[in-house]
Amino acid sequence: MAVQISTLYSYVRALPVTAGPLCRVRADFQRASVRFNLTVATGRSHLGGQPATGPLRGHIKKLSTSQATTAEAIQKSSQGNGASSRRWRRGWLLGKVTLGAVIGVSSAALVQSLHTGTVAAMARKVNLTSADGNWKDTKDFLLSLSVKDRRQYYRTTDFVPLDDIPVWTPSADGPKPGLYPRNEKLDQKISLYTGDITKLEIDAIVNAANNTLLGGGGVDGAIHRAAGPVLKKECASLHGCETGEAKITCGYGLPAKYVIHTVGPIAQGGVGEEQRKALRSCYDNSLKTATENSARSVAFPCISTGIYGYPPEKAVHEALATVREYLDEHHDKLDRVIFCVFLPTDKELYMQNLPLYFPAASPESTVRSKL
């Protein structure tokens, strides 16, 4: 019985809420739990304290009544003779087993109804087209859902699931030798995708943001429009971001669970060591942020190569080298890294350079593997 109740208590405590209606349910439960513990300790059905309120009141009432009956039985037993005392003990044991079963069933039902009730209540409150409301509640709720359950909240209908994004297949005709050794397992973790990053149903998409994190043009503007106005509210709470750093938010109305915001270097005056390092830091810190948040699939746009003017033919090498080196070290933490290009010229650049960083087997090793 104690185990059942403590399991139930842990479940409610673990509800991912910090405020709002879920929080109130947790408070109700805590009050009710204390009351129940006291009931068990004293063997009395009513304690004279404030009755529990909220959705748990009915359940606690039932528990208190059962416990009172048992307590009366014990009292009678202790007053009777030897035979009746044995009978009372047998009755007490039977009662205990029955009570345990009743509580087992009712706590499972309670967990289910609590979950269903809170999810339904929160689902009614989620509004991804308005900036009103508490973004933290919305975020907690969305992050608690499975991918399938989250689909009804996407602000787009034409999303692209991860399984529809093919993995990189290096061609044996590619340049030889590659800059990095062949690693077939890593090829399975790389994709080149041409299209709109806001459509990808993956764990995290990276945003090429600015230092304010409050939105802008290019891919930043596209992500904010697709996610809806709640994204800006969470971004405002982050107090900006340094160049080369990365910060994470919920994806809200996006098919992606998270958005990782990074700020690329401004390179309109040319590219020096400082810009090169900053661009690498964007890719590296975004991947670190993804893995710290258990995001296993991540998509990158071509950071800094639009409005910030970093030459795409240089940026592609920093992007590919940083991802390759991160995967060499942390391949177990990521399932897929997607280079999401928007322009045909960028697609061409990645097609040309991917084989340098994720090369095909050399002719000799192909022959060896057939033997």
Range 267-286, binding ligand AR6 (CB under 6 A)? none
Q: Which pair of structure tokens corresponds to residue 220?
A: 């930043």
Smallest gap, in angstroms, from Cβ of residue 326 to ligand AR6? 20
How far apart, in whole angstroms, are the C-alpha atoms of residue 85 and residue 77? 5
Q: How far is the CB of 226 from ligand AR6 (least distance, A)?
A: 8
Q: Where are the beta strands (DSSP E) in the chain?
A: 160-161, 190-194, 200-201, 204-209, 246-250, 258-263, 297-300, 336-341
Q: Is residue 298 within the footprint of ligand AR6 (CB under 6 A)?
A: no
From 289, 265, 120, 262, select the one nearest 203 (Cα to Cα).
289
The nearest distance, CB 262 to ligand AR6, in angstroms, is 9
Among 192, 307, 321, 361, binds ligand AR6 (CB under 6 A): 307
Footprint on residues 187-206 left by ligand AR6 (CB under 6 A): 196-198
64-93 mask for ligand AR6 (x: CB under 6 A)? ------------------------------
DSSP-derived pairing of the beta strands 258-263 and 246-250? antiparallel
Q: How many C-beta atoms surround the C-beta of residue 233 within 10 A?
A: 19
SS3 200: strand
Residue 240 lies near ligand AR6 (rule: CB under 6 A): no
Return d(Cα 8, Cα 33) in angstroms, integer. Answer: 10
Smaller CB separation from ligand AR6, 186 or 316: 316
The H-assigned helical ranges of 43-190 are 57-79, 82-125, 135-144, 147-150, 184-187
Q: Does 107 bind ligand AR6 (CB under 6 A)?
A: no
Of 140 and 220, the one with the shorter C-beta distance to ligand AR6 is 220
Which position among 217, 272, 311, 363 is part of the footprint of ligand AR6 (CB under 6 A)?
A: 217
Segment near ligand AR6 (CB under 6 A), from 9-17, 18-26, 153-161, 342-350? 342-350
CA distance 22 to 26: 6
> Which residues contribute to the site for ligand AR6 (CB under 6 A)?
196-198, 208-210, 216-220, 222, 264, 301-308, 340, 342-343, 346
